[in-house]
Amino acid sequence: MDLKKRMRDGRHGLWLRLARRGNEDAFRRLYGELYDPVAGYIAARTGNVHDAEDLTSAVFHGFLERLDRFEAGKGSVMTWILAMARNAVIDHHRRLDAHGSARRGSVPVEELAEVLAADHRDPDQWDTLGSLIRNEDLRQVRQLLRREPDDVREMFALRFGQGLRVREVAAVMNLGEAAVKQRFARTLRKIRQELLTEEPEPKGGPECMIAD
C-alpha cells in the first residue's frame, strides 16, 4: 500500500517536471491520474453534478496555471492539488452562503467544517440511497465518527476517503503533522473502545450451550 503510494508520488513528481519542460504526454498522464481523486473529493462536498464539474474544471485550470510553482520538498502533487480542491470548495460554499443570505464578506472556514468533513448528507438517505452503509458494524462506526468534531471527520475523510497519509492530511488542512497524528490516534482509540463497549453478547452463546 505504502509502496504503491510512494510510486504514485514519484511518478507524479516526474511527470510534473516533464510537463513543465513541455512534455504534453506527461501532462496528459498526470491529469489522467489526478482527475478521479479531485473529482471525487469535490463531488462529495458539493450538492450537484453541475457544481462538481465547474469546480473540478476550475481546480485543474488553476493547477495548469501554477504548474511551475509546485515545490517537491513541500509534499506530493496529489496533496498539492487536493489542497487546491479544498480551497475551491471553501470558496464555493462561501459564495453560496453570501448569495443566500445576501450578505457580503467571507464565511469563516470553521463554519464550513461540516461540508469539508464530507458527511453532511441527511443520515436517513444513507440507506435509501443504498450505496453506503448496509450493515450494523458500519452503522456503529459511522455513528461514533459523527460524534467527533467536524475537523476530525475531515481528517478521516481525507485519510480513508482520499487515501492520504497523515503527513499529507496535515498538509492539505494546513495543520501540524504531530497534531494530526495525535488526533487520529486519540480518535481511533476512542472508537475502538466504544465498539468494544457496545459489542453485543456473542450470538447464540448460552443457547448453544443449552442445545449442547
Which residues are at the interface with other proteins (CB under 8 A)? 3-4, 6-7, 9-11, 13-14, 17-19, 21-28, 31-32, 35, 39-40, 43-44, 46-49, 51-53, 56-57, 60-61, 64, 72, 118, 121, 129, 131-133, 137-138, 141-142, 145, 156-157, 159-161, 188, 191-192, 195
Shortest approach of other proteins to residue 142 CB, angstroms? 6
Task: Give me the least distance between CB of 63 and other proteins, in Å please.
Answer: 9
Please give the helix or strand (H or E) that residue 145 lies within, else none: helix 136-146
Report, in Å, the least distance between residue 39 CB and other proteins.
5
Around Cβ 79, how many Cβ atoms within 10 Å? 21
Cβ contacts of 141 within 8 Å, gap of 6 or more: 191, 195
198 within 8 A of 140, measured Cβ to Cβ = yes
Q: How far is the CB of 209 from other proteins (least distance, A)?
A: 26
Per 3-state DSSP, what percentage of the chain is helix, strand, and coil (rounded to 5)? 75, 0, 25
Measured from the CB atom, is 95 or 190 closer to other proteins? 190
- Angle (nearest 5°) at CA 7 between 18 and 161: 110
Q: How far is the CB of 73 from other proteins (least distance, A)?
A: 10
Q: Give the residue with the Cβ less far from other proteins, 20 or 108.
A: 20
Closest to other proteins by CB, 56 vs 79, is 56
Backbone torsion region of residue 20, taken as left when φ is above 0, otherwise alpha when ψ lies between -120 and 50, otherwise beta: alpha
